[in-house]
């Protein structure tokens, strides 16, 4: 969402567009463009509302005969520092003089019927709520790793970086929303406010794909840990899909970055609105990149489901694992709504800068992605401290005791027996890692239950076949 003025191509940044005029024969686009162009030209009045600049220019033209003033006099009346600035406006289409008068009159007279809408105050509330949930989720995730693994893994560090960048995006979105709180229509704001809003929007557009890249990459690294537990017939396909999706996400992130940087001759295009040359239709580019992001969201959601369903798990455990991964579908829905918001609000629509709506949905999307990606780790933490909440114990468990050396040897020799000679039952809840230093397999659910006295997963070197089939499911 680079430029907030229509689209940024040269063809769009000019008068004479096709359409039915509604304001003295002129289109809404021409009315808005007149406000922006004349407000930019009147650099001595950049602190005044654009509508006030338009009205003052209209009054001057009304009192001045046709061809009765020089360019220098017109520049003085408009509030331009030099005559060259007025000449640049004329080059952009504010000429010949009859057309300039008519479009300026129409813009001034339209003030009574134009919509004067204020900005939304929802951003602070949404940012506070979503950031609080994401922060709590990340804390629980780190706690889960420290308790059950005693270290953070690579995909955890990627998630931490994604969270920090998401927080930065949210803070800038707060500043952007506060700036547009008094008004979202260009005629109700000064040029300085308009330019500052575009600066914030450009920064947000540059930042957005970066936290999303780290969050999605964290999830892909987590999936990569599932590969050794996958059935052999789908292992290579699953691994290849992980790497293809990663490079797809990386290419989208890099492409988005260069689209924003190279759309115009200068990054700070708002400093030369009337003369800047822009080669890209940034709205269409952002729509295309947003569509790619939605596709990758769906892929990340669907990718592990066939793998989990083919693991050596019971039906109940499979359903719980699928539900854990399926939470990510919520983030996919928000991502689709954000794409729609870019189409509707990402650029000036009927003279209104409603890009704050895009920022609100982006804040929700980023934080939901963090929350959904951390669901497996939180589930493992719940199982560790309160397994009965998820009912991970087998109902056949009768009594529990600390396993002996004989028990452990018997487990190593047998892939199917869960009972020892004296009739004691040991229940292994699938979805855990029983090797010391590895993380309990949260999507599958549970920790190893091998009697009482607080036996940790590290106390047992090897487990049953079902455990080995999912030992890296975290």
> Each residue of 335-385: pLDDT tens digit?
888 888 877 766 666 677 778 888 999 999 999 989 888 887 887 887 778
**Contact (CB, 8 A) for 408 and 460:** yes
Least confident of 99-113, 156-170, 308-322, 407-421: 407-421
Look at residue 21 in the predicted model and tell me its pLDDT.
58
pLDDT at 292: 84
pLDDT confidence of residue 452: 39
Range with lowest mean pLDDT among 251-255, 285-289, 415-419: 415-419
In a domain, 93, yes or no: yes
Do 271 and 406 sit in the same domain of this protein?
A: no
Is the omega angle on the peptide bond into residue 96 within 30 degrees of 0, that is, cis? yes
Residues 189 and 321 reside in one and the same domain:
yes
Task: Give the C-alpha separation, 344 to 353, whole Å.
Answer: 11
Does one domain contain both 450 and 398?
yes
Residue 4 has pLDDT above 50, yes or no: no
Q: Is residue 21 situated within a structural domain? A: no
Confidence grade of residue 3 (pLDDT, cut at 50, 70, 90): very low
Among 343, 373, 403, the domain boundary falls at: 373
pLDDT of residue 266: 72
Q: Which candidate, 299, 211, 205, 297, places its Cα nearest to that of 259? A: 205
DSSP 6-57: S-SSTTTSSS--SS---BTTB-HHHHHHHHHHHHHH-GGGTTSBHHHHHHHH
Structural domain harbouring 445: 387-474
Residues 204 and 106 both lie in one domain: no
Contacts of 160 by beta carbon, 8 Å cutoff, 6+ apart:
138, 142, 152
User: How many domains are contained in the chain?
Assistant: 3
Asked if 374 and 332 count as a contact pair (C-beta separation under 8 A), the reply is no
The answer as to whether 276 is a domain residue is yes
Task: Choose the most confident range, by mean pLDDT, from 110-119, 208-217, 283-292.
Answer: 208-217
Helical ranges in 327-420 per DSSP H:
329-345, 356-373, 375-385, 405-413
pLDDT at 122: 92
pLDDT of 208 above 80: yes
The answer to whether residues 292 and 213 touch, using CB atoms and an 8 Å cutoff, is no
- What is the spatial distance between Cα 370 and Cα 162, in angstroms, rounded to a whole number? 8
List the alpha helices (DSSP H) in 149-273.
Answer: 154-179, 191-207, 209-224, 232-262
**Residue where the block lists tokens 């506070």:** 128
- Higher-pLDDT residue of 263 and 137 is 137
Say whether pLDDT at 446 is over 60: no
Question: Residue 125: which residues within 8 A CB-CB, separation 6 or more?
Answer: none
Whether 68 is in a domain gets the answer yes
Cβ(118)–Cβ(184) below 8 Å: yes
First to last CA, the chain: 37
State whether 434 and 353 are in the same domain: no
Mean pLDDT of 183-209: 89
Is the pLDDT at 424 greater than 80, yes or no?
no
**Position 15 in a domain:** no
Residues 6-41 have pLDDT tens digits of: 333 334 445 555 445 567 788 888 888 889 889 989
321 and 414 share one domain = no
**CA 267 to CA 276: how far, in whole Å?**
10
Q: Could you tell me if 82 and 40 lie in one domain?
A: yes
Question: Are residues 32 and 101 located together in one domain of the fold?
Answer: yes
Percent of the chain, pLDDT > 90? Answer: 21
Q: For residue 352, give the 3-state DSSP assignment.
A: strand
Same domain for 256 and 344:
yes
- Mean pLDDT across 445-472: 39
253 plus 145 within the same structural domain: yes
Considering the domain architecture, whether residues 52 and 145 belong to the same structural domain is answered as no
Please tell me the distance from the alpha carbon of residue 147 to that of residue 456, in angstroms, as a whole number. Answer: 11
Residue that terminates a domain, selected from 321, 341, 373: 373
Band of residue 300 on the pLDDT scale cut at 50, 70, 90:
confident
331 occurs within a structural domain = yes
Instruction: Please compute the mean of the pLDDT values over residues 101-127 and round it to a whole number.
Output: 89
Instruction: Assess contact for 441 and 430: CB atoms under 8 A.
Output: yes
Domain boundary among 373, 397, 427: 373
The whole-number pLDDT of residue 275 equals 60
Specify whether 351 is located in the same domain as 418. Answer: no
pLDDT of residue 353: 77
Instruction: Using pLDDT thresholds of 50, 70 and 90, give the confidence band for residue 418.
Output: very low
CA-CA distance, 80 to 72, in Å (whole number)? Answer: 9
pLDDT, mean of residues 428-452: 39
On the question of pLDDT at 98 being above 90, the answer is no
64, part of any domain: yes
Has residue 463 been placed in a domain? yes
């Amino acid at each position: 969402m680079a430029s907030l003025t229509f689209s940024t191509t040269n063809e769009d940044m000019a008068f004479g567009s096709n359409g039915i005029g509604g304001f003295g024969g002129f289109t809404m686009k021409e009315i808005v463009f007149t406000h922006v162009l004349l407000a930019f030209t009147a650099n001595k009045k950049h602190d005044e509302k654009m509508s006030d600049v338009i009205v003052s220019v209209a009054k001057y033209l009304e009192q001045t005969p046709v061809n009765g003033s020089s360019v220098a006099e017109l520049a003085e009346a408009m509030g331009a520092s030099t005559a060259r600035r007025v000449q640049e406006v004329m080059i952009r289409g504010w000429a010949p003089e009859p057309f300039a008068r008519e479009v300026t009159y129409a813009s001034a007279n339209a003030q009574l019927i134009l919509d004067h809408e204020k900005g939304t105050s929802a951003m602070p509330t949404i940012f506070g709520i979503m950031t609080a949930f994401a922060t709590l989720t990340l804390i629980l995730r780190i706690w889960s790793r420290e308790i059950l693994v005693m270290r953070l893994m690579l995909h955890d560090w990627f998630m931490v970086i994604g969270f920090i960048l998401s927080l930065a995006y949210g803070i800038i979105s707060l500043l952007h929303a506060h700036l547009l709180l008094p008004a979202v229509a260009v005629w109700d704001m000064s040029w300085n406010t308009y330019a500052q809003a575009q600066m914030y929007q450009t920064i947000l557009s540059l930042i957005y794909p970066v936290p999303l890249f780290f969050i999605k990459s964290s999830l892909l690294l987590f999936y990569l840990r599932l590969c050794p537990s996958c059935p052999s017939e789908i292992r290579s396909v699953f691994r290849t899909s992980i790497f293809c999706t990663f490079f797809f996400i990386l290419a989208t992130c890099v492409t988005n970055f260069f689209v924003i940087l190279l759309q115009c001759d200068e990054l700070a295009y708002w400093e030369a609105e009337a003369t800047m040359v822009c080669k890209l239709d940034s709205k269409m580019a952002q729509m295309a990149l947003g569509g790619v992001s939605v596709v990758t969201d769906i892929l990340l959601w669907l990718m592990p489901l066939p793998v989990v369903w083919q693991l050596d798990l019971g039906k109940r455990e499979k359903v719980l694992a699928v539900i854990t991964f399926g939470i990510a579908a919520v983030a996919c829905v928000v991502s689709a709504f954000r794409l729609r918001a870019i189409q509707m609000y990402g650029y000036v629509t009927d003279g209104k800068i409603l890009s704050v709506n895009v920022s609100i949905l982006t804040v929700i999307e980023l934080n939901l992605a963090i929350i959904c990606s951390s669901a497996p780790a939180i589930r493992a933490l719940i199982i560790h401290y309160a397994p009965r909440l998820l009912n991970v114990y087998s109902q056949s468990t009768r009594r529990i005791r600390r396993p002996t050396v004989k028990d452990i040897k018997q487990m190593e020799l047998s892939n199917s027996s869960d009972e020892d000679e004296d009739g004691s039952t040991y229940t292994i809840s699938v979805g855990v890692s029983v090797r010391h230093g590895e993380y309990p397999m949260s999507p599958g659910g549970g920790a190893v239950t091998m009697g009482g006295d607080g036996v940790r997963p590290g106390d047992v070197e090897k487990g049953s076949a079902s455990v080995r089939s999912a030992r890296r499911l975290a």
